[in-house]
Amino acid sequence: MFKYIVKRILLAIATIFIVCLITFFTMNAIPGGPFSGEKAKSPEVQAALEKRFNLDKPVGEQFLLYMKNIAHGDFGVSAKTGREISATINSKFKVSAKMGILAVLLAVVEGVFFGSIAALQRNKWPDRVIIFVSTLFTSLPSFVLGSFLLVIFSVKLGWVQAWSPQHQSLILPVLSLAAYPAAYITRLTKTSMLDVLGQDYVRTARAKGVREGKVLFVHTLRNALIPVVTYVGPMIASVLTGSLVVEQIFTVGGLGNEFVQSITNRDYPMIMGVTIFLAVFMVTMNLITDIVYKLIDPRITLE
């Protein structure tokens, strides 16, 4: 297990390095930079700016310098605002992460709960209602649901204020973000639970005299959750990418919004910083998923 984790961490570092490499050279290959176009600058100013951002050095050296800096957590400064990128990511990611974690928690709790109910009440009305609603939500894009919620609850009814730095109401964005994964987990849990309920070892548990509650929550659910865990790891990553859209709709000042802005601004250092940050994040999430997976399913050998 320990050896495996070390191996995975080394692999993760290699992955991140490759992401950095690709991002850096792609950004460099794109003609034009943050200081070209727009307003004409005097050659001196241009040169000073380029010197400030190491743009006068050969590309290879620029890359090495860049890597050295990010290894110390220094992503440089934004080409647009001149603020520390790491500080921006830090503050913006807090908002996104809060929203993401709430959405993931909501999705998992809700999905496992309703999925189990649907499985236990198979072909009865609770199952039918749950499956109908979750099918609806899996086919509804988050921007449609988001806009809908915004119009109804903020604009028409005025129950929930839209997001602003002063009033960080996350209810609606979290709901729109959680809807798809929740619906998906519901269906996944139901299928998986039904499969497990038909397994011989569940019958063995009953035949031992285990009470029904324990048969369901210990013997069945633990096995039924294995596919759910495999989905949740990558889902966390997709919830964060999905939040690009949702953050736009609800004008939440999170990392997604920042990313979109940095692209429109051609703020290359910022784009690179956010990309690399997200890469690190996803690689870490995958590693955690694999470890959790191993913890619930002893048959998985992490070698």
Kindly list the residues in this chain that would bind other proteins in the complex (CB under 8 A): 199-201, 203-212, 219, 222-223, 226, 296-299
Instruction: For residue 152, give every residue at least 6 positions away whose Cβ sits within 8 Å of its Cβ, in sequence order, or none.
Output: none
Q: Which is nearer to other proteins, 123 or 166 (CB)?
A: 123
**Residue in this structure with the two tokens 């001196």, named with its chain if needed:** 44
Task: Tell the smallest beta-carbon distance from residue 267 to other proteins (Å).
Answer: 48
We find the least distance from the C-beta atom of residue 226 to other proteins, in angstroms, to be 8
Closer CB to other proteins, 159 or 201, in the complex = 201
Residue 134: CB atoms within 10 Å? 25
Burial class (CB in 10 A: 0-12, 13-18, 19+), 28: middle
198: exposed, middle or buried (Cβ count in 10 Å: 0-12, 13-18, 19+)? exposed
DSSP state, 167?
S
For other proteins, the closer of residues 102 and 232 by Cβ is 232
Question: Which residue type sits at 57?
Answer: K
CA-to-CA distance for 257 and 235, rounded, in angstroms?
Answer: 19
Q: Which is nearer to other proteins, 205 or 235 (CB)?
A: 205
Distance of CA 104 to the CA centre of its chain: 9
List beta partners, residue 135.
none
Select 225 or 271, whichever has its Cβ closest to other proteins: 225
